[in-house]
A = this chain, B = another copy of it.
Amino acid sequence: MDHLYEKTLKTTEIFKGRVIDLQVDEVELPNGKTSTRELVKHPGAVAILPITKEGKLVLVRQYRKALNKTIVEIPAGKLEAGENPFDSAKRELEEETGYKTEKLELLLSFYTSPGFADELIYMYWTNQLEKGKTNMDDDEFLDILEVTLEEAEQMIKDQIIHDAKTAYAVQFLKMRKLENL
């Protein structure tokens, strides 16, 4: 057994929502003492870094209630029940930006907040975009933007881009440029 493992003594379900659930686990720590862990359950998500023929990033501007502000992000969305990440990424890309693609490459997956949530994001990228048509969710409102790498870097400085997945995506693009890819 991993010497850092925490054994679950009791799980209390607090909330079941449309997007997230919340539970509190009582755990036994490695030193034998007990503590509690507040855990958010999330279905997981996909994010896509779409690059146009001109080398621009396709981004979406969206109001985020949790932050009480509008920020600019790469297209992303929750996994639907039974849906695989690749199909979800193709679907979200077209729904949010109006671009289709047959070529999506998985960059990596990462947990966003391992201290309290199990949200896992699968991040894809593509530079082969064809024109499709947008189809927003009922409760989704967003603007579509196409920006250069330099514009995206300025948006990070100005905290208009202000989330982890988009910061990662912009840095990835900068790295590709340094590598002359």
Q: Name A residues whose Cβ lies closer than 8 Å to a Cβ of B.
A: 2-6, 8, 14-15, 17-20, 22, 24-25, 27, 29-31, 33, 35-40, 42, 45, 61-67, 70-71, 73, 76, 78, 108-119, 121, 138-139, 141-143, 156, 159, 162-165, 167-168, 171-172, 174-175, 178-179
> B residues within 8 A CB of A175?
171, 174-175, 178
Beta-carbon contact of B66 and A115 below 8 Å = yes
Tell whether A66 pairs with B141 under 8 Å between CB atoms, given A14-B22, A164-B110, A171-B168: no
Nearest-Cβ distance from residue A56 to partner chain B, whole angstroms = 20
Q: Residue A163 contacts which of B61, B66, B73, B111 (CB distance < 8 angstroms)?
A: B111
- Neighbouring B residues of A62 by C-beta, 8 Å: 4
Contacts of A119 in B (CB 8 A): 113, 116
| C-alpha gap A177/B18 in the complex (Å) | 44
User: Are B20 and A38 in contact (CB-based, < 8 A)?
Assistant: yes
Number of copies: 2
CA distance A38 to B37 in the complex (A): 19
Give Cα A33 to B138, complex, Å. 9
Say whether A22 contacts B15, CB under 8 Å.
yes
A113 adjacent to B110 (CB under 8 Å) = no
Residue of B30, B35, B71, B159 touching A109 (CB-CB under 8 A): B159
* Measured CA separation A71–B42 after assembly (Å): 19
Asked, given contacts A29-B141, A172-B171, whether A115 binds B45 with beta carbons under 8 Å apart, the answer is yes
The reply to whether A19 and B116 contact each other, CB–CB distance below 8 Å, is yes
Min CB distance A46 to B, Å, is: 12
Check B4 against A70 for contact (C-beta < 8 Å).
yes
Q: Which of B112, B162, B174 is A164 in contact with, Cβ under 8 Å?
A: B112
